[in-house]
């Protein structure tokens, strides 16, 4: 990513170019990303090809002012952080599903970020998981990490942490790997070996075509709000979640109302209302 592309990305986030790659800058950029760039899977249902190449992701997120899902959002955000002087490593993760079952290999992409300053440290950064932490999580901290998105812990993979240990066999955790826990429930298993963006192509293809993927079975568009809450448009259901967790759900009627919410609340201009496509023909 060149300087002009990085500046355009920062304008998309409403951020100034930082003087140094500090922890405070990382925290601000992550939160601004979550408030500005929606987590959404609309491309799958609009018949748009998902291409995990930096320039194509910039065209989508910055040029077209769209969002995306994990591979796209964390992939392009990692490129921005690298351009700003952070030390960024792409990591593969597997998401915990029902009864603690793990998803496919390369199920999710997260970032390990080191700020090259005295206050820097080593952090897990994720702007592509929907409802998750608003700020970076300290990789080396094993206690609770308070965050507007919940109470988080980063622990050795498979380690016993109460009820969240269900579904993970004794000794399954690789000492090199970590689990991210939110409010007592395991979210995903992170492999600490470095990856490159091309490693995630198969995972993106599976999630955008398989009938077993939740992305092919539903529509979602969501972002953090300025007050720390969240707005989510799932099909025609529009949910406003307050910072305290209270939810207000409104069913949208005519297409113009749905398109107005995409435009006015998420900054996404669409020619028509997307509908769930049959799995096997998208991505």
CA dihedral 31, 271, 54, 15 (to 10 degrees): -30
Report how far residue 281's alpha carbon sits from residue 261's, in angstroms, rounded to the nearest whole number.
27
* pLDDT at position 169: 43
- Of 108, 132, 135, 207, which residue is the catalytic one? 108
Give the residue ranges of the chain where pLDDT is below 70.
117-119, 159-176, 278-283
* pLDDT at position 117: 66
- Of 126, 132, 207, 221, which residue is the catalytic one? 126
Q: What is the helix (H) or strand (E) element at residue 31, kind and residue range?
A: helix 23-36
Check if 214 is active-site: no
* pLDDT at position 241: 97
Whole-prediction pTM: 0.91
* pLDDT at position 158: 73
* pLDDT at position 280: 52
Q: Strand, coil or helix: what is 17?
A: coil
Q: Strand, coil or helix: what is 224?
A: strand
Report how far residue 61's alpha carbon sits from residue 47's, in angstroms, rounded to the nearest whole number.
17
Report how far residue 125's alpha carbon sits from residue 138's, in angstroms, rounded to the nearest whole number.
9
Report how far residue 94's alpha carbon sits from residue 101's, in angstroms, rounded to the nearest whole number.
9
- Of 33, 45, 70, 107, which residue is the catalytic one? 70
* pLDDT at position 164: 40
Check if 87 is active-site: no
Output phi, psi for 156, to 5 deg.
Answer: -65, 140
Report how far residue 155's alpha carbon sits from residue 142's, in angstroms, rounded to the nearest whole number.
6
Q: Cα separations (Å) of 72 from 18, 83, 97, 144, 217? A: 23, 17, 21, 29, 19
* pLDDT at position 2: 96
Largest interatomic CA distance in the chain? 54
Check if 135 is active-site: no
Cβ of 266: how many Cβ atoms within 10 Å?
23
**Domains within the chain, CATH numbers bracketed:** 3-197 (3.30.2140.20), 201-266 (3.30.2140.10)
């Amino acid at each position: 990513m060149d300087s002009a592309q990085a500046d355009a990305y920062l304008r998309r986030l409403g951020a100034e170019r930082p003087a140094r790659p500090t922890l405070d800058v990382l925290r601000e950029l992550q939160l601004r990303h979550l408030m500005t760039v929606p987590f959404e899977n609309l491309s799958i249902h609009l018949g748009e090809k998902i291409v995990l190449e930096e320039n194509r992701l910039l065209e989508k997120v910055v040029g077209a002012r769209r969002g995306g899902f994990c591979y796209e959002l964390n992939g392009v955000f990692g490129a921005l952080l690298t351009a700003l002087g952070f030390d960024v490593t792409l990591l593969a993760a597997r998401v915990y599903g029902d009864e603690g079952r793990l998803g496919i290999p390369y199920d999710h992409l997260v970032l390990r970020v080191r700020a090259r300053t005295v206050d820097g440290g080593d952090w897990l950064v994720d702007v592509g998981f929907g409802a998750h932490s608003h700020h970076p999580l300290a990789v080396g901290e094993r206690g609770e990490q308070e965050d507007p998105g919940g109470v988080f812990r980063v622990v050795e993979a498979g380690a016993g942490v109460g009820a969240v240990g269900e579904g993970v066999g004794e000794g399954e955790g690789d000492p090199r790997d970590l689990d991210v826990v939110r409010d007592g429930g395991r979210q995903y298993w992170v492999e600490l070996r470095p990856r490159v963006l091309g490693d995630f192509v198969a995972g993106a293809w599976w999630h955008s075509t398989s009938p077993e993927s939740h992305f092919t079975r539903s529509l979602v568009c969501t972002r953090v709000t300025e007050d720390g809450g969240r707005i989510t448009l799932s099909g025609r259901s529009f949910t406003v979640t307050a910072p305290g967790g209270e939810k207000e759900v409104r069913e949208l009627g005519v297409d113009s109302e749905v398109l107005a919410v995409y435009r006015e609340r998420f900054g996404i201009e669409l020619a028509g209302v997307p509908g769930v496509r049959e799995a096997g023909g998208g991505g």
